[in-house]
Structure 1
Amino acid sequence: MPPRPGFGTQGRKVMLWANSFPLVFQGLPAVHRYSVEVLAAEERGRVPTGKKLSRVVQLLLEEHFPGQTHEIASDFKSNLISRTELDLAEEGYLIPYRGDHDEEAAPGAPTYRVRVQETGTLSVSDLVNYLTSTGAGALLHNKEELLQCLNIILGHFPKAAPGIASIGPRKHFQIATATRMSLGAGLEALQGFFFSVRAATARIIVNVQVKNAAFFEEGPLDRLMRAYLGENGPNKVRLGQFVKGLSVNPTHIVKKNKKGQVVPRVKKVAGLATPNDGQGDPHPPKVRGFGAGPRDVLFFRGGASEAPASQPSTGKKKGKKPAKAGPDPPSTEGYISVYDFFQETYNITIQDPALPVINVGSRQRPSYLPAQICDVLAGQPSVAKLSPSQTQQMIRFAVRKPPQNAQSIVTSGLQTLGVGSPDSNLGPFGLELIPKLTTVVGRVLNCPDVRYGGNKSIRPKFGSWNMQSIQFSAKAELPYWSYLWLSYPTRRDPWRDDQALQPTIDAFTAVLRETGINAGNCIRGQHVTVQDVDQDLEHAIRAFTSHAKPPKFILVILPAVDTALYNRVKYLCDVQEGLLNVCAVANKFAKPNNAQYFANVALKVNLKLGGRNQLVDPSKLGVVGERKTMVVGIDVTHPSPGSSSEAPSVAGVVASIDHTLAQWPADLRVQPARQEMVADLGPMLQSRLRLWSQHNGSYPQNVLVYRDGVSEGQYDIVLEKELPALRTACRELYPAHLTKQGYPRMTIVVVGKRHHHRFYPTKAEDADRSTNPQNGTVVDRGVTEARNWDFFLQAHTALQGTARPAHYYIVYDEIFRVQKVQQPLQNAADALEDLTHNMCYLFGRATKAVSICPPAYYADLVCERARCYLSKLFDPSSVPGSEPSVSGERRGGGPGAELNRVSIHDRVRDAMFYI
């Protein structure tokens, strides 16, 4: 990867705090690394995963290395790090499984065989010497392994502490003391912290950031289930998915150890009772329907009472029988309902017989419990997609002023990490974390003037500006257009009929003309009351394109913010019928004195029609302003929790067509799910190069790529897989004499949004109105490595909360290293930082600087639009008639039926249809 060409020099210097702490070493110890493999000791036994695996590793340390507690660190999965060499048993270790409060393994509990093998010795001094070396060509082949080792040591305390819940390897939440807020429907938001050991110039730092996550509310399961049903309606299939996997503690039997402590009898919810439970059992349970209540779930009771379960009497599979439910009643045989069983055996009357019974066994060997006698254990994160109301609550909870976050990091964050705790293992490993935020030098870059029609210039203030009485830089032609007004059958509209709507349409038309769009009068459109989303919308939109002269553009007025309606409109217009469109919500569109809202809609209309909203002086765009550089944005979107198993990943590519960076047509392709690297990158780039050639008469000499969505561990893969694909695509198109001269020159910049670095002003005069750093702040030292070429840029002004800068990492460069830098810029670092910053003022949908540069932003929007087209796969719950099946699988169209749904219609393919 290209070395840093020097640090940036431009802008006004400011001192900032970073959310990182110095990690210092005492004696620079060597540490021993071991691999851990946990296997089932019995034949056909299951290998533990998740929390059970973590507990097995914990038992290994407690029982076999008790005197070395503080000298061993583990990720409680597959690695051990030891300050001293361990005396290992060659045959491994047998670990009988027991719970946290159990003094010994219960009868029938599984036993696991644990193998521990040394994999090498790591010298921390090698990492320190590498970071402090002045040799630019110095290499450290095991740098990532050393950083992983330090992360394991640092993460050992929060993973081992009983009151801390961990999500993944680096997010930790103190359950009892965490700041929290109810999200409704059985969930609550908790504040926790993310930790990461990172290399920086001449030092090692620990990055600590506030993180928020949704957890299941602790307490009675029946209360949680009623809360969910109260907000989501009586859908038992979704309720079953909601509680599936939850760990609960049945309270009808209390077990205590010798110390008098209550020992939880933790059970995992397999789902709700279904009629298909216990197939193959000679006496299968009788369940009236999916999610039946305790009176409608009957299980077969043998001669003596058992826990409410169905047990095969002659099954060939070995399995642990449920624990006896208590004192045996008189010997009876036959079917009994869960309701009657708990009434007779435990004198427990189930208060809500309508609430579904849960299954804490399996589908083949079910074990039923009423929700009333189950308590949800604390510290269980939810991975399900939040509802819109829950998302709003989560945003409200997460938005905090920068000083609040900084204070939480220094206090609660370090406490969660165990700094200052006698149980911390940092000291024995020769590590010390200095509890003071790192100070870094930043620079505030000057913002460019923004130009509009008539050569009018605006100087932005606080990263934004007003285009009142200003026309677009290049107006679009809109001679023939119409509208589609959608209504619900049971909801009142802002207008009683088309005649009442006309004044609003006229006011909108006037704003279009004021902003410079040459708009003709809107022809009368359609008013459709939507009852069947698919059929009614398809019929209405096809009516526009079936005319001999279809309108160039339609305004779609939605009755509300409705995901299903919006997704269907976008698919029908963009993919099926080829009709440029913009959606507006009726109650916002109908407000009086609505010029500002109309102007915001006009921004999208002008871009979709091929217009140009704003400009900056070409001299502010460096190599792009020389008219020989095509800028490309690339992103990939992946299936989210709740997506169909058939949902693919989708890659989106956008590219500029001229030096003004106003128009960015796009291409979309589907590829295998979870594959980050773009499969069809070559053909996608070729389609963009041909479009550039159509507008400019030749292919560009430079291709500047901003690659979004790539994690730090995948930088090398971009070079190994995507760069060759880009190269091959260019060789196939470019004339031989240009390829021999080395054209096109190519630079690839990875854009990072999901990093954890934040910056805080040290002086009030260096802060903006929300106490964040001022817009245009760039940081390229202090938390970066001198050998790598990267920088953080906060181009925008955050409206609320703590601003997140974008991280730009240059993985390949042929453009800037040979480009002659114009004064006052001093080096290639200045050139790229200045270009990237100024581009943030050219995002056509806003009158403000945006947080990431437009090519990455537009590529992200393209991928989001693809999710609309594939909503049946990406978000089945938002599609009418797409309820998940009883087994919990999501239903979606087959791949063959759905994957062609991202092929944009020829009539709109070269427009910014995704804006």
Structure 2
Amino acid sequence: MEDNRKRGRDEGERDTTDDVGESSSRARRGATDSYEVGESSRVNTEPPTSALSSMNISQSTVQSDLLEVIRRPDNGGIHGIPIQLFVNHFPVTFNNSSIIFKYNVDLKPDEQSKLANYGSSAKISKENIREEGPKYNFKINSVEDVELSQLDGYLKGNFLPNPRNILHGLDLVMKENLTKHMISFRRGFYSRELDDFGRGLIASRGFQHSLKPTKQGLVVCVDYSVLSSQKPVSVLEYLEKILQVNFNKIDPLNSTDREKVEKALKDLEVKVIHRQTDQNYKIAGVTLYPSNDLKFKIKKKNQSKEVRLIDYYMETYKEIEYKNLPCLDVSRNSNNYIPIEFCVLAERQRYLKEYLQHSVRKMKNIAMPDPLERKELICKAVEAKNGPHGGDIAEHFEITVNTSMTVVTGYVMSPPYLKLGDSQNISIKFLPESEDRLWNFKEKSVLKGMQIKPWKILDFTASEDFGILDMNKFVKNFTDISQRLHIQESRFFDRTTSTMDILTKNEAALISLLSSLKGQNSSSQILICVMKEKDQGYKNLKRICETKVGILTQCCLVHNVSMLKINAKVGGSTMELFDPLPHLEKDNSVMFVGATVYHPGSKNTSCPSIAAMVGTTNWPAANKYAARIRPQAHSKGSIHNFGEICMELVNTYTRLNEVHPAKIVVFRDGVSDTQFDMVLNTELKDLKKVLKSHNCEPMITIVVAQKQHLTRLFHMKVGGELEKKNVLSGTVVDTKIIHPRNFDFYLCSHSGINGTSKPVRYTVLFDENGFSSQDIQKVIYNLCYTCARCTKPVSLVPPVYYAKLAASRGRLYLDSLIESYTAASPALFDQGLFKLHDDLKDCMFFC
């Protein structure tokens, strides 16, 4: 660790003075993480687009004990076949001798003006002031003058303070023109022309863009984007045409339709039409009873009186026609019911994925264009009059955008040799030679097929009128696939039938049923749960099986079962890398860790975030993982007790391998560039502290994996089929478009099928293991071939891939628990509710 600190200090640390408000502003040196405007974590808010109010220079002073992001150790890796690529980075030029001035503007009425506030901007007055208005005091305070030469020095690689304030200011300048001509939503700007796909789905085409400091200089990164949303129709039309619920003015909804309506409408916002108001109301649910049966109390002349809801609306507003439909519950603290017919959906709201399938083909045509079409759409947007080049405002600030994409040389790494089984279950050396790097099990088998001890079927289709399971066919198919892959399955044990209702309506009965199916000996037992269709009860089944009962499950539809997942869950191995990982050939105990955090939606302000960590349990194969799941404070970016959770995984590794890991490579997901300092000086320090307290001091490397960026890679060759295809699996770029000083690179490890592939940006924050660019790139790419669920390289390095799966499982637990508690209940933060059963905590139940 001392060597790492020393490297940062020796490379140009500076402590300068911040003269806020003076003609020359020089910021003290703050955290050295980079900042990419518009590409921050979801827990951070976007900067305003109407004023340069966020251009605060960091006031933090240099701390000698703070860890800093390491610099690139070399000039990049040179391996594989060179390839010329277009990248959607457009160079930005600016006058480096210019100064940006920031002001605070204060506008107040004269003290003698007798005006009262009416809302946020309106005023009311007793006198007519239209002819001679009141006097106002207009005050401007100079806050700071920011020299663009600071940004120029930073881009040239000088070790200067991160010019986050300048990037913020320039970003606001670039966006100001767009806000006047397009719909602004989060990071994107969209056309006011809408595509209507029917069933309430509408979409607007546009783009997202952000300013990035790169090795070639400042660039604006522009990517094509589509904003889909719910059409603002009346709730009655929503029920009829989108949910396809049958209703009329006479009959009430049956319980199934009422639950369907509540599920679809919950958390959506509506406007009312029976009275004048601009307020939006958030739907908490629908009433159990129809409007005709609802009563509430009102106070008149200090007396409380109970009235029927339909009588109240008749006297106050107008008659309710659909008296047998439930009302929308928009309550916060007290009952507030609004008849469905008086509500209209508010604009720009989510469209339920369950109903997206009806328009998915139409949506794919515009939302997922092939690489050639996407490239053309991006270039067209950049060249447009009101495009992301900033318009007249940018020109006034002497900012110019080059409308040509950046050309860069990348390399295509060769795939690794794999170790599989042949038709005789003998280990063979295999190379995925197809262009897409896919392979199958024709005349091959999994490397290690575990014995599946008495496997049982829990059949949820038996009581349905259709989709009944053909038991003989299902068992034969299961057995045939097992034998072909050399997965040893014992004789079929038994079949139990149940209804889907037990998953959602009777937890005690479900626990009793699952406990009886588990039996006494469950070391390799798995329960095959066959369902007619996807069901909301799935989350309850997984939570109870994995935290209460301790039985492995594999859910599937009638004609679909994944033997690769089953084999991985019971401890088998799909494949291994044939050759040792680069730079780690001579090591006998290396552990890979993946960590991520799932945050609730932006409208959810009380539920816990879910932290998940996974760690390898074997070496040198490094293809089996254990997981840990924890709830933590809402929207908390750092993982609470990072070291403690990781230590649990280290203890598992030590117990199974009888040795402490000598090296640990941690892959951190879900953090932005602005959170690099948090990873280093909160999570890493906590990890080192806990490890040391357990007499375990491995060499540690920290790598951040990011997909929440806008960078895309395109084939440069013009004409032919290649231009329409995605870049090849193994394409890596570590020059020109990377950070000016950080140790980062872009890797597209998978072969994209639909739309345009997005590479993953990997940044090495801390490295005690001395990886070169070439070594760490090859390690990550080779690991992408070891995912147990599929026969192709995955898009994310498996430690992150599996950590995200574990976090998704934690989200299922949370969604299940919310039905028993409330979204704001403190009980949801109880770690005991998310603690894995002892029988499952060391296996890949999440796979």
Compute the TM-score of the two structures, normalised by the length of structure 1: 0.72
Q: For the residues of structure 2 that align with 1:191 and 1:440, how far apart are their CA atoms?
A: 28
Residue 403 of structure 1 corresponds to 372
Classify 1:602/1:191 alpha carbon distance in 2 versus 1 (closer, same or farther; 3 Å).
Answer: same
Structure-2 residue corresponding to 1:670: 631
What are the equivalent positions in structure 2 for 1:601-616 lying under 5 Å apart?
Answer: 601-616=562-577
Residue type of the alignment partner of 1:130? Y
* Structure 1 unaligned residues grouped into runs of 5+: 49-55, 57-94, 98-103, 253-264, 300-334, 340-349, 590-597, 736-742, 818-827, 883-889
Taking the TM superposition and a 5 Å limit, the aligned residue runs for 1:404-803 are 404-412=373-381, 414-415=383-384, 417-418=386-387, 424-453=392-421, 454-460=426-432, 461=434, 462-487=436-461, 489-495=463-469, 501-533=471-503, 534-535=506-507, 536-545=509-518, 547-550=519-522, 552-586=524-558, 588-589=559-560, 601-623=562-584, 626-640=587-601, 645-734=606-695, 743-763=697-717, 771-803=725-757
Amino acid at match of 1:172: F
Matches of 2:358 and 2:644, distance apart in 1:
38
Provide, for residues 695-734 of structure 1, a one-character-per-residue CA deviation record: whole Å limited to 9, x for no partner: 3322121110001111121111101100111101210222
- CA change 1:418–1:626 in 2 (3 A) is same
Query: Any residues of structure 2 matched to 1:22-37 within 5 Å, and which?
Result: 22-26=91-95, 28-35=97-104
CA drift at 1:470:
1.6
Q: Is the Cα–Cα contact under 8 Å of residues 637 and 864 in structure 1 kept in the other structure?
A: yes
Is the partner of 1:16 in helix, strand or coil? strand
CA distance in 1, matches of 2:599, 2:683: 18
Once the two structures are TM-superposed, the CA of residue 568 in structure 1 deviates from its matched residue by 2.4
Distance 1:457 1:365 in 2: 68
Corresponding residue number in structure 2 for 1:174: 191
Contact 1:748–1:813 (8 Å) recurs in 2: yes
Question: What CA deviation, in whole Å up to 9, does each residue of 1:276-330 have, x standing for no partner?
Answer: 99966659999977xx7xx65437xxxxxxxxxxxxxxxxxxxxxxxxxxxxxxx
Percent of residue pairs identical: 21
Q: Distance in 1 between matches of 2:522 and 2:692?
A: 40
* 1:122 partner letter: V
The match for 1:68 is none
- Give 1:128's match in structure 2, choosing from 130, 134, 152: 152
CA contact (8 A) 2:457 2:530 kept: no
Give the match's secondary structure for 1:634: strand
Displacement after TM superposition at 1:544 (Å): 1.7
Does 1:8 pair with 2:106? no
1:338 corresponds in structure 2 to 318
How big is the shift at 1:779? 1.1
The residue aligned with 1:857 is 801
Separation (CA, whole Å) in 1 of partners of 2:162 and 2:333 = 47
CA distance 1:225–1:531, shift in 2 (3 Å): closer
SS at match of 1:267: coil
For residues 365 and 300 of structure 2, the distance between their equivalents in structure 1, rounded to whole angstroms, comes to: 51
Alpha carbons of 1:897 and 1:862: their partners in 2 closer, same or farther (altered >3 Å)?
closer
Q: CA 1:851 to 1:769, structure 2 compared with 1: closer, same or farther past 3 Å?
A: farther
Shift in alpha-carbon separation, 1:864–1:216, aligned structure 2, 3 A: closer
Q: Conserved in 2, the CA contact under 8 Å of 1:489 and 1:531?
A: no
Residue 77 of structure 1: aligned partner? none
1:906 is displaced (CA, Å) by: 0.8
Please give the alpha-carbon distance, in whole angstroms, between the structure 2 residues aligned to 1:492 and 1:531: 16
Find the aligned partners of 1:677 and 1:356 in 2 and give their Cα distance: 43
The alpha-carbon deviation at position 856 of structure 1 amounts to: 0.5
- Tell whether 2:202 aligns with 1:188: yes
User: Which amino acid is 1:839 matched to?
Assistant: L
Give me the whole-angstrom Cα distance separating, in 2, the residues matched to 1:411 and 1:8: 34
1:763 offset after TM fit, Å?
Answer: 1.3
Matching of residue 244 in structure 1 with residue 269 in structure 2: yes
Listed one character per residue, the Cα deviations across residues 522-557 of structure 1 (whole Å, up to 9, x for unaligned) are: 212312233332445323211123x34457323423
Indicate the SS of the match to 1:447: coil
CA distance 1:357–1:744, shift in 2 (3 Å): closer
Aligned residue for 2:844? 912
Tell me: CA distance 1:182–1:44, structure 2 relative to 1, closer, same or farther (3 Å). Answer: farther
Contact preservation (8 Å) 1:472, 1:515 = yes
Instruction: Identify which of 134, 149, 154 aligns with 2:169.
Output: 149
Classify 1:197/1:860 alpha carbon distance in 2 versus 1 (closer, same or farther; 3 Å). Answer: same
Higher mean C-alpha deviation, range 8-17 or range 116-125? 116-125
In the alignment, is residue 298 of structure 1 matched against residue 313 of structure 2? Answer: yes
| Distance across 2 between alignment mates of 1:527 and 1:370 | 39
After superposition, the C-alpha distances for 1:583-606 in whole angstroms (9 at most, x for unaligned) are: 2211x24xxxxxxxx5xx221122
Identify if the C-alpha distance between structure 1 residues 155 and 690 changes in structure 2 by more than 3 Å, giving closer, same or farther. Answer: same
Partner of 1:331: none
- Evaluate the alpha carbon distance shift between residue 197 and residue 548 of structure 1 in structure 2; reply closer, same or farther with a 3 A threshold: closer
User: Is the 1:633–1:655 Cα contact (8 Å) retained in structure 2?
Assistant: no
In the aligned structure 2, how far is the partner of 1:37 from the partner of 1:841? Answer: 59
Matched, 1:213 2:281: no
Give the aligned residue type for 1:689: V
Give the Å deviation of 1:641.
5.5
CA distance in structure 1 between the partners assigned to 2:337 and 2:450 by the alignment: 67
Question: Relative to structure 1, is the Cα distance of residues 286 and 147 closer, same or farther in structure 2, using a 3 angstrom cutoff?
Answer: farther
How far apart are 1:474 and its partner, in Å? 2.4
Equivalences for residues 54-453 of structure 1 within 5 A = 117-133=141-157, 138-161=158-181, 164-168=182-186, 170-176=187-193, 180-182=195-197, 184=199, 186-217=200-231, 223=237, 227=241, 230=244, 233-234=257-258, 241=266, 244=269, 246=271, 267-270=278-281, 296-298=311-313, 335-339=315-319, 380-383=347-350, 386-389=353-356, 393=360, 397-412=366-381, 414-415=383-384, 417-418=386-387, 424-453=392-421
Deviates more, 1:568-577 or 1:712-721: 568-577
**How far off is 1:675 after superposition?**
1.0
1:444 and 1:728 map into 2 onto residues whose CA distance is 40
Q: Does the CA-based 8 Å contact 1:243-1:269 persist in structure 2?
A: no
Contact 1:482 1:554 in 2 (8 A): yes
Q: CA deviation at 1:769?
A: 9.2
- Cα-to-partner distance string for 1:569-624 (whole Å, 9 max, x where unaligned): 212221111112222211x24xxxxxxxx5xx221122112122101123344316
State the secondary structure of the residue aligned to 1:619. Answer: coil
> Post-superposition shift, 1:851?
0.2
CA contact (8 A) 1:154 1:417 kept: no
Q: Distance in 2 between matches of 1:352 and 1:429?
A: 59
The letter for the 1-side match of 2:554 is V
Alpha-carbon distance change, 112 to 370 in structure 1, aligned in 2, over 3 angstroms = farther
| Aligned residue type for 1:900 | G
Deviation at 1:411, TM superposition (A): 1.5
CA contact (8 A) 2:445 2:484 kept: yes
Do the aligned partners of 2:93 and 2:218 also contact (CA within 8 Å) in 1?
Answer: yes
Where 1:605 maps in the other structure, the secondary structure is helix
Does structure 2 retain, via aligned residues, the 8 Å contact 1:401–1:800? yes
Counterpart residue type for residue 318 of structure 2: V
Residues 511 and 602, structure 1, Cα contact 8 Å, conserved in 2:
yes
Structure 1 counterpart SS, 2:395: coil
Aligned to 1:140, the other structure's residue is in SS state: coil
